[in-house]
Structure 1
């Protein structure tokens, strides 16, 4: 009886492990194709022809009015240093910074008013509803304020740049946007998370994810002509395109105010409407990468909350909102984007298999006699395991390489040690995202399940409080 129970359990675990291996191998092949395309681009130096030559024109005027949208809900700790840094970096009179605050968030309103009193380019906008709503709802309110200003002045804006309340902007970024927006509807710059000395395992695990995504994956998408999903920060949208999006929705603005990842949807909608999108990775004359820098959540619960919001919006909400695209390329990219829950399931099954095999090995060393059928692996399973091992090593090499290139060898080594941490966060975020999405199916309104932010450690005002 006991042997029968053990054999049944082993068969069940083996089936689960087979499923996890199949999911992993499919994901590895998918990623391998992106790797090979990137290698081809790198060997031929093709990406250089897809960037633009910039000069650091600090203090010069952009070619028309530019607006910056910053949605802020309970950001009194970071909004002051961010706005001070932004106005210093972008010392241009043609710039208007629209900051959206909620009427039930007086601390953030007061922090913005203190900065606005010293700089007329900052425009405080109070939302129509008490917070939190969604970030998209706040952005739509900023868009309506922009439209009102255009009507009063009779002068249209040329582009809208979107940032978060904790972003450290690059002084050359506006120059890049200004040059590229002539021929593009959407321009996205890289995002560089800070390597946080006080959060080596949680807050710093974003380093390797963005280093690989914004050094490889987004460049490949740009090169093959796929839609560029925005990161929600460090992106510029041409003003006429926002008008087209707003008219298409027939609502109060261009952003999907029920979406938790309006930034992702925005990029794909622009591509679907025929707008040209660009991901631009370039360097300023002093050699620095022109990018948006930010400190990501340093606590486990905050990291899980943030990634759950991303998974819910991209993997679940976008199924019925955005569909699967009109071409094979669209379908492939959207399948890649929505694989988060499947990857979390594969990780759960893989760790379950590891634990079970550990139990089998431990009891076997203790003298427990297992049925022979419980420990035998088929030739096909052995082949899959070897392929899986090769995939793990291949991915680890890429993760180390991209992280070390951006942050140095020490951080590259830490990226390898953080792989289990990143996996656990992915599993927890996948479970939370599924639960939250099921709640919306029962009639719950999506809300801005935001995380607490901190000022980038390299920000000049990092020690200041608003």
Structure 2
């Protein structure tokens, strides 16, 4: 057993090293986030002082119609979605306010429940003839990108059979609650841009206000601020994989460069990569925050996200693997300063998780050192002045970060949701740490094994939850 003096020395040393590492890491991350916040505040102020003084903010009702209205394809990859795909399709067919669209649903031969649900909508539901059931030959799950490539080929076959060329391709998931106006927005704006991304607004799963709710807070910042700044800086606009439209001609350019298939079947984040690849081909993306009516809610995609720790960790580990690990190898560091900064922010999650571990470890070590001091009467070693300064700066940055998170959540979900944001930040940190651990273990064990579609179980909201 180590003596009291040795234990004090070990505690003091471990405490200092953990605190120093965490303080430096948090300072770098805090300055990075502060720069993003200040750019968003500056852009918002400029627009209020210039654009909105001359023109009222646009909304879906004031958006002019498309110059050349066209047919829009909706791609939905569906593996093991028998519980939700029928409700999602019926809801979309009932709500979408557009005269010319087709919904292509990719299925697998070993998933009869999903096939049956889609076929039932085709046969027995109003406008069911707008749905195309695309059966695959490979047993599932493959990757979502492989499924989307099959849908692309099915769309080409339909073009050849009908003589009608599609104008744009919209991506959705089987659990998405679509907005009635989204196709009208896409039809208009895809004439000016190659990719149009709408906000994603997670819904709180009943009984899971913290785990599912932390997605609400993170998307409130990502789609309320970060993508806005990203677009303003001229960096590539990554697709969120849902609620986005890609011009048919732009997707064809990518397909031609890839041997006929636009999506990389080896990617687990084909949506994120698509936006960056599109920019490399000279395409232009836009992020659109547009209310349905003046003062109304946004034209956005709404959906339930995972409601348990295990499901959230699996989902975020897949995101981390595709963006922070495989994305580093696959996409590199191309582009100018703004593009490289955004890619660095996209890929910092693994290191950020390590910094969080050090920060929480330092907090536990502080508690252990205090307990040991009270038990033995030995004082805790004094904090180095530089380290104390770093901790005070980080405390100020943390206060700013909490305030900004609460404000963004307030803007998107209202004041009641904002009160939960600080607690849900802690939940999000824990999930991020566990997801980073899972992503690293899976990727280092076998980088090629991560390509399988590691999806989570989905729910479709009841009518009163939409």
TM-score normalised by L of structure 2: 0.93
Deviation of 1:127 after TM superposition, in Å, equals 1.7
Matching residue of 2:375: 366
* Correspondence for 2:433 among 427, 433, 445: 427
- Unaligned segments of structure 2, at least 5 residues: none
* Correspondence for 1:183 among 189, 192, 197: 192
Q: Secondary structure at the match of 2:386?
A: helix
Tell me if structure 2 keeps the 8 A contact 1:295–1:457.
no
Tell me if structure 1 keeps the 8 A contact 2:59–2:293.
no
* Correspondence for 2:408 among 402, 416, 421: 402
The superposition leaves residues 97-149 of structure 1 with CA deviations (integer Å, 9 ceiling, x where unpaired) of 00011110000110010001131010000123110111111111101111111
The superposition leaves residues 283-328 of structure 1 with CA deviations (integer Å, 9 ceiling, x where unpaired) of 1126121100011111111111101000010000111110011211
Matching residue of 1:255: 263
Matching residue of 1:267: 275
1:433-448 aligned within 5 A: 433-441=439-447, 443-444=448-449, 446-448=451-453
- Unaligned segments of structure 1, at least 5 residues: none
Distance 1:305 1:50 in 2: 43
Q: Secondary structure at the match of 1:200?
A: coil
Distance 1:79 1:459 in 2: 18
Q: What is the alpha-carbon root mean square deviation over aligned residues?
A: 2.1
Deviation of 1:171 after TM superposition, in Å, equals 0.5
Matching residue of 1:22: 24
Tell me if structure 2 keeps the 8 A contact 1:256–1:262.
yes
Query: Structure 1 residues 23 and 328, CA, compared in 2 at 3 Å: closer, same or farther?
Result: same
Deviation of 1:60 after TM superposition, in Å, equals 11
* Correspondence for 1:199 among 205, 208, 212: 208
Tell me if structure 2 keeps the 8 A contact 1:73–1:105.
yes
Deviation of 1:459 after TM superposition, in Å, equals 6.2
Tell me if structure 2 keeps the 8 A contact 1:82–1:455.
yes
Distance 1:412 1:91 in 2: 32
Distance 1:56 1:43 in 2: 23
Matching residue of 1:357: 366
1:90-101 aligned within 5 A: 90-101=96-107
Distance 1:50 1:256 in 2: 42
Tell me if structure 2 keeps the 8 A contact 1:77–1:454.
yes
Distance 1:325 1:304 in 2: 30
Deviation of 1:444 after TM superposition, in Å, equals 2.9
The superposition leaves residues 201-242 of structure 1 with CA deviations (integer Å, 9 ceiling, x where unpaired) of 111110100011111111111111111111100000000011
Matching residue of 2:339: 330
Query: Structure 1 residues 61 and 272, CA, compared in 2 at 3 Å: closer, same or farther?
Result: closer
Matching residue of 1:278: 286
The superposition leaves residues 67-87 of structure 1 with CA deviations (integer Å, 9 ceiling, x where unpaired) of 000011111111111101111
* Correspondence for 1:156 among 158, 165, 168: 165
Matching residue of 1:454: 459
The superposition leaves residues 324-363 of structure 1 with CA deviations (integer Å, 9 ceiling, x where unpaired) of 1121111111000001101110111111111111011112
Tell me if structure 1 keeps the 8 A contact 2:321–2:450.
no
Q: Secondary structure at the match of 1:375?
A: coil
The superposition leaves residues 385-412 of structure 1 with CA deviations (integer Å, 9 ceiling, x where unpaired) of 0011011100000111111222222211
* Correspondence for 1:120 among 109, 129, 132: 129
Matching residue of 1:411: 417
Distance 2:247 2:105 in 1: 19
Distance 1:241 1:292 in 2: 23
Distance 1:56 1:36 in 2: 30
1:34-73 aligned within 5 A: 34-45=36-47, 53-55=59-61, 63-73=69-79
* Correspondence for 1:102 among 99, 108, 121: 108
Residue 173 (structure 1) aligned with residue 182 (structure 2): yes
Matching residue of 2:399: 393
Tell me if structure 2 keeps the 8 A contact 1:400–1:415.
yes
Report the number of matched residues: 455
Query: Structure 1 residues 179 and 53, CA, compared in 2 at 3 Å: closer, same or farther?
Result: farther
* Correspondence for 1:243 among 244, 252, 270: 252
1:304-315 aligned within 5 A: 304-315=313-324
Query: Structure 1 residues 93 and 39, CA, compared in 2 at 3 Å: closer, same or farther?
Result: closer
Q: Secondary structure at the match of 2:180?
A: coil
Deviation of 1:197 after TM superposition, in Å, equals 3.4
The superposition leaves residues 24-80 of structure 1 with CA deviations (integer Å, 9 ceiling, x where unpaired) of 1111111111111111111122686898553289x9998111100001111111111
Distance 1:407 1:341 in 2: 29
